[in-house]
Amino acid sequence: MNVIGVDLGGTKILARSIDVTTGAATTRVKKPTPKDGPKSVLDAVAEVVAEVDPSRDMPLVGIGVPGLVQRDGVVDRCPNIVGWERSVDVRAGLEQRLDREVHVANDVNCGALAEHRFGAGKGVDDMLAVFVGTGVGGGLIIDGRLRDGDRGLAGEIGHITVKPGGRVCGCGGSGHLEAYAGRAGIQKEALRRVEAGEQCVLVDLASGSTIKSRHIERALQEEDPVTMELMAQAVEALALGIGNLATALDLRRVVLGGGVVDKLGQPFVDQITGSSAFGGFGADTCELRLAQRLDDAGVLGAALFAAEAND
């Protein structure tokens, strides 16, 4: 069965036709994301879908969005899309425009689903995907299906507490994994150290701009003490959080991706599994694998999500 997959990002909208059995993708239509609010964005999504399937052969559309998705397809909190401050009924808005069945999912969850079906998660029933970038996101597959939880937040490992009373997280909470392992949290702590008079190659490399994963890689190569300390804390936080979920869910596989993991690669994963914080029963049998970084994984996952929801 062919399904239209759409990846709605802050800068571009990408749509493809996906064979959900094989994962093969054909036709590829891209458009910049409009900056003047949800109505224009939904209009643009409708246009790329129509371009992918002008003959209207595919009645099913899956779309991944960078926000909190309710079960009814309403999307809240979408800070990366300009002008999207309030809740938007993406499902209803697109079904009206397209006269097709539309299913809406979180973009990170789409990535998790793609990895499970065609990437590093192939062959296991249960899987956690953890993406380490600016923040730390995740997606949870149980018995082969993506889980959403009560509010669509299942798999959000970034906001578990790894250090009670520790660093303040972007969400306002305290001691969350994301505050230790996400680039934004690392940057905030590095800047604090520099303001307190310490030297930090990481801050020098970013030279006033946002710290990138390549800056982290470089600062580690230069054996910068502050960067090494911050990344050791990141590793410990990831080891604790992932080990605990592997234990409580009795997982055989966790897939790791995102900018920081892609850049630091297998040695970073080995540090996590080698950490003394990677404990619990789960650590005995759980394998951590690098994400395969499938082409257009977000589009693929969105199509899989729609096919599964329609099943």
Q: Angle at Cα 63 formed by Cα 59 and Cα 67, nearest 5°?
A: 155
Judged by CB, which is closer to a copy of itself: 254, or 269?
A: 254
Site string for a copy of itself, 123-142 (x = CB under 8 A): -xxx-----------x-x-x
Judged by CB, which is closer to a copy of itself: 13, or 251?
A: 251
Report in angstroms how near the CB of residue 297 gets to a copy of itself at its nearest: 22
C-alpha to C-alpha distance for 177 and 201, rounded to whole angstroms: 23
Residue type, 246: A
Report in angstroms how near the CB of residue 129 gets to a copy of itself at its nearest: 12
Report in angstroms how near the CB of residue 88 gets to a copy of itself at its nearest: 21
C-alpha to C-alpha distance for 204 and 206, rounded to whole angstroms: 6
Q: In this structure, are residues 304 and 24 in contact, taking their beta carbons and an 8 Å threshold?
A: no
Report in angstroms how near the CB of residue 83 gets to a copy of itself at its nearest: 25
Pick out residues in 243-302 that bind a copy of itself (CB under 8 A): 243-245, 247-252, 276-277, 279-282, 285
Binding residue for a copy of itself (CB under 8 A) from 143, 195, 223, 311? 143
Neighbours of 97 (CB within 10 A): 16
Q: In this structure, are residues 212 and 219 in contact, taking their beta carbons and an 8 Å threshold?
A: no
Report in angstroms how near the CB of residue 252 gets to a copy of itself at its nearest: 4
Site string for a copy of itself, 219-238 (x = CB under 8 A): -----------------x--
Do β-strands 127-132 and 136-142 pair in parallel, antiparallel, or remain unpaired? Answer: antiparallel
Report in angstroms how near the CB of residue 282 gets to a copy of itself at its nearest: 8
Pick out residues in 150-189 that bind a copy of itself (CB under 8 A): 150-157, 159-161, 164-165, 171, 173-176
Contact residues for a copy of itself (CB under 8 A)? 124-126, 138, 140, 142-143, 147-157, 159-161, 164-165, 171, 173-176, 236, 240-241, 243-245, 247-252, 276-277, 279-282, 285
